[in-house]
Structure 1
């Protein structure tokens, strides 16, 4: 539809109709490169329209207010002149007055958007998602009223390169914040109302702190913030409700805050945080009575801690994943009386493994242990129901006589020295494993 320059009265059909398109709920204008003007009747058209999307219409201007009283979702993608509306507070206000039920606003690929009139947003608007608006800045315009009347609950900012600071006054009520690929962002102050915060691939963030007072945050995820050295100070006091903490690819992060992590923390995932893992002696995880899931993905650069009592793990852990932590030993797992799932990956030093003391363990996965040669006869706990062994090229024996009677699922793959022993009806181990309900060797059910 590249030749269309105007949407005129003919678009609405018979003008005698009091409410044109009276059943339409979803309207999309897309790839109309020459479309400049949309004639609005203002006579009750689109009476139940809930979603409007304008995509790749670069010449369209919305200077005339659109009266869409039932509209809930408004999406603008790659339409620069439509984006101008968001810079002009007066024009934006006039548009919003005709969208009395608007709940969600999406803006993408609109480089004309340089600012955003947060203060005049309607109370119905709960979700804003802005992405790839390269010139957008979060600044308080001269004469702009206070932002205290905002009701935004969910804000996403993605690939907005002019944003260098996020302060609480822009989003005091936002419960969910997602900020990604904002490459010039250097500081983030967490609003007290925030419950879930995700900061991804903002590699220049150096300061992450709580704005003021106790927050309601339950989930914090940080990925690819390569200059960030510290988590917020006084986390136990200021983030007491935090239950989930995910740290990915933060190579400069050195330690947890003084005083440790919040006591209510339940899930902790640490991946590609070299300095942090190598300083694990000061984690004091044994102080976290609610921690049930711990995952650590490392590069094998850790060294043995001579005085290792501070590397003890809390007995509350139920699910544990350890990847390429060179100094891991059975001794570190001795206190895990509640552990039900254990995944061990990429351990290049271990030659033997014994886990008989984990009396609650139900699922065990061992993957990529190049030097593992054997599992002793007493290696496996009697509670085990699932055993998965993968990519252990030197593993040459299993504790077949010590296999738990509770085992129901046995899966072994890429273990060439074991494969002849497990051969159907002929292998040496076959009589000892045939009773297990599910047996899978190199992906083949036996």
Structure 2
């Protein structure tokens, strides 16, 4: 760590350690098996003079962070057959991944790339988990990906992508997180018959307004959906398999309609919907067990019949204009109630004194402003 001068006695290659971290060593220019002991887990960070890295044979996980002058990454002769995870972050000059990755890194299952804008080219087809953040050229050249074993994909982009004809996501994907991939459409999701988790973020209002993203109903295995910044929920067809739904930053959402949510839903989170004013009667499905509402400054009321009889947990946070709760309509199944930063409700919920207290005292777990009652 922060070594100005470093010299290891030969034969370094015969040394073996479980974990080795090289941090802020300005004297190091090349990383190679001749320079470092063999390490099962190798981390190289903030080594600004390093220009080349040769992956040692016995390394299983390699992390390279903030080495801005690294231009070449290669694999030692004979390959690194045991390597399962490769993480590269903030290597601005790195233009490509190691050559012959499929052959030399046959066990590689996880690849994480972040802030490497010049990286481009093919990816090894045996990957199971791929995380890409702000790697512009790699994402824009995604037609070259052939990842038929991929189960988890995470892409955080800058919105510079252009439409690629005949590009589809592999059908093996079970978890998909997409941010600011503006050419994404329902057509790209049609093959995802195994998809269980889906998270959308970014410029989705534009996508929805262009009619590119209109339906998830064909995703028959989808269980969890987290979606941000859409114009409308009612116009979005949700699959009947959905059990967990998170709605984030829907600026036009004023109320929930009865038909908007699938009957299979058990967990619902509503967060940062500034124009949401009320939850109407029968808006929530009878299957719902957990409801979490937060950061909705204009929410004023929940109707007396808003909460389904199946509800076991209710959390409300930072809704400063919420004036009332449907205490007479509180389901008998409710076992957890947590209300914080709702100043108009707090006096009504005061222990032993508040107007609502007789109606909620039977609930086993009650938290008001993080204090257990």
Shorter chain as denominator, the TM-score bin is: 0.7 to 0.9
CA 62–84 in structure 1, closer or farther in 2 if over 3 Å, else same: farther
- Secondary structure at the counterpart of residue 302 of structure 2: coil
Residue matched to 1:60? 6
TM-score by length of 2: 0.84
Matches within 5 A, 1:28-427: 55-62=1-8, 64-66=10-12, 68-86=14-32, 92=33, 99=38, 102-117=39-54, 121-122=56-57, 124-138=58-72, 151-166=82-97, 169-170=100-101, 173=106, 174-182=108-116, 184-185=117-118, 187=120, 189-202=122-135, 206-209=139-142, 211=144, 213-229=146-162, 234-236=167-169, 239-248=170-179, 250=180, 253-256=182-185, 258-261=187-190, 262-274=192-204, 275-276=206-207, 278=209, 282-298=213-229, 302=231, 308=235, 311-328=236-253, 329-331=255-257, 334-354=260-280, 356=282, 357-427=284-354
Q: CA deviation at 1:126?
A: 2.0
| Distance change in 2, residues 1:440/1:364 (3 Å) | same
Of 382-391 and 414-423, more deviation after overlay is shown by 414-423
Q: Structure 1 CA distance, aligned partners of 2:368 and 2:339?
A: 5
SS of the equivalent of 1:420 reads helix
How far did residue 421 of structure 1 move? Answer: 2.6
What's the CA shift string for 1:211-249, capped at 9, x where partnerless? 46452111111225443456995435xx2221111224x
Judged with a 3 Å threshold, the aligned counterparts in structure 2 of structure 1 residues 231 and 351 are, in CA distance, closer, same or farther, namely farther
1:373-425 alpha-carbon deviations (Å, 9 max, x no partner): 22111111000011112222332222221110001111222323323332333
**3-state SS, counterpart of residue 397 of structure 1:** coil
In structure 2, stretches of 5+ residues that fail to align are none
Q: CA deviation at 1:111?
A: 3.3
The Cα RMSD (Å) is 3.3
| TM-score normalised by the chain length of structure 1 | 0.71
- SS of equivalent residue, structure 1 residue 432: helix
| Contact 1:178-1:197 within 8 A present in 2 as well | yes
Which structure: larger Rg?
1
Unaligned segments of structure 1, at least 5 residues = 1-54, 87-91
